[in-house]
Structure 1
């Protein structure tokens, strides 16, 4: 449990839970809550241009961050940005191709990290977005910043794009662990600085996204997921005491308990594949958890949604809990189903 920062005096339910309190009903935010399922987001993107254009236009990025809060009674706002901002700041070129996802060049499978020219100024527009959101955010809403964890970001840097099995990166980690460790160390360094910068600009808490952690064997998970995240948490604690840190190792499964113990995160995000009853039984008893509604249950709505919500609430009724999805909200999610979710959680729709 972390101590409150002295300048955070407003009652923020989500922040209170991240610090170890139990709140009923649980506070709520949704991964990717600002994005393509909202018509106002699609309209702004059509007006302003591509995804990266929006991320690097602070007024637009701030507007997108705030859009879902105007529709729903969310307890948290999450910065509109992307986990690949850190490799972009390390000097790789970043582009988002329509229908193809992100592309980083040159791929580090074939190019040395030392050949990149760091561009730390590429972080500054993100901090400006944070400042603009902070100035407009209601005092009871917790503002969440984030970064990709080193392993997940490295998979994109090595391959130059996303991949289902992360084959090139896993092979590099086995065949040239010293070279791969140097990449992880560089990512640790920039991630700490980036999150400290977000906190200085106004976020209340941060989340570390390790979206591809589930692809690793246990010993590799210990080395490339737990180790780097533990070092990031330790450094953040020394540089920003009191800043809550959420760890989200998607796909970790049975390795979640070790991740929770060894990284020292303040709260643990659970993906939709985790049985909430198992998680409550196996995780440290006072550890706040976040999650873990299947995004496709939200698309389905009706009885499927109601049953899934009830299972989660029942499992976590005796521990600090932030209600969230197990991963990002899908583009095809009907807005009436999101409104129904808040009614099921006992929150008036706003």
Structure 2
């Protein structure tokens, strides 16, 4: 097997690394003072995403500061419904808002605006031209179920109740939303790949709210279609699937979607994951973001447990979800020392 100079892409292709490569979900974001300064200068979040120079700078900031093995594109999962014709805005203290809501209007009433994806591709091109040669560039999109929950309700919710009721009450109409998201997501990720990303991640942040049959229909099925389409268009480009909250359904997700690597959230026991996943399937995760905030012995013990569980298999070290805004920079630096074997308990790996 050909080995590149990029440890992360090697692991995504099934090779084992003595020291696992690492990156952190939401590593380009609010915990960094340089990010906060740039956002204050640019104004709103969406303005920052669509400013290609600024978005490229944000993507590169954590690479310069920490030397992570992977750079994750700075963007948002709701760019896709924006391109499907919904209005998107970010309200202070409330997060993203989409309108009109699909509980109020039909999908067919939206006027598609695929040109809204072009600035993202330009950001990818700018980042790809500046990354260190050892850093893998990761693109991403939201998975159809998670994105659909926002499109239906117009905003996030604790239990995704409106989308779940919609899916039960009118599976044909909800299926049309999912189908549109599958098609747009394939095109969107394909555009990112053409522009310069080397692997992509599908975020299914709300997959844990679904009953098993609904999980099979709205999570596994659509993600499998995306993976198959990307594999046909871009053979050899790895796809990471991250179905947060999947629990015991995770092995079926990994098996049936055809993903190249599986992301694991912090609620999963890494030893259970190691025992229930194919030995050659790359696993990504799964440090609790709150353990990173806690630091000290809690952080060291959690890191040691994860490294021990995934020793001997392809493993990418990451958080079980996104890094939180109040994460101390010093704790991220300590995490890097532990994972890369320069800090006490982390050497257990």
**Shorter-chain TM band:** over 0.9
**2-structure distance, mates of 1:70, 1:347:** 20
Work out the CA distance in 1 between the residues paired with 2:4 and 2:316: 18
Residues 1:316 and 2:316 are matched in the alignment: no
Partner of 1:68: 62
Deviation at 1:318, TM superposition (A): 1.5
Distance in 2, matches of 1:185 and 1:122, equals 20
Aligned to 2:232: 238
Tell me the distance in 2 between the aligned counterparts of 1:169 and 1:346: 42
Mapping of residues 94-113 of structure 1, within 5 Å: 94-113=88-107
Give the whole-Å Cα distance in 1 for the aligned partners of 2:221 and 2:10.
27
Q: Report what 1:307 is aligned to.
A: 301
Aligned runs of 1:57-206 on 2, under 5 Å?
A: 57-206=51-200
Indicate the residue corresponding to 2:346 in structure 1. none
Report if the CA contact (8 A) 1:130-1:202 is conserved: yes
* Structure 1 unaligned regions, length at least 5: none
Partner of 1:271: 265
Alignment TM-score, normalising by the size of structure 1: 0.97
Match of 2:207 among 213, 230, 236: 213
SS where residue 138 of structure 1 aligns? coil
Q: Which has the higher contact order (CA 8 A, sep 6+)?
A: 1
Deviations 1:15-74 (A, max 9, x none): 000000011210000000000000000000011111000000000000000000111120
- Name the residue aligned to 2:9: 15
Q: CA deviation at 1:285?
A: 1.5
Query: 1:10 touches 1:139 (CA, 8 Å); kept in 2?
Result: no
Q: Is the 8 A contact 2:20 2:340 kept in 1?
A: no
2:254 is matched with which residue?
A: 260
- CA deviations over 1:84-119 (Å, ceiling 9, x no partner): 000000000000001100000000011100000000
- Alignment check: 8 A CA contact 2:4 2:10 kept: no
In structure 2, how many angstroms separate the alpha carbons of the residues matched to 1:193 and 1:305? 39
What count of residue pairs does the alignment treat as equivalent? 343
Looking at structure 1, the residues matched to 133 and 342 of structure 2 have their Cα atoms a distance apart, in angstroms, of 18
Name the SS of the counterpart of 2:96 in structure 1.
strand
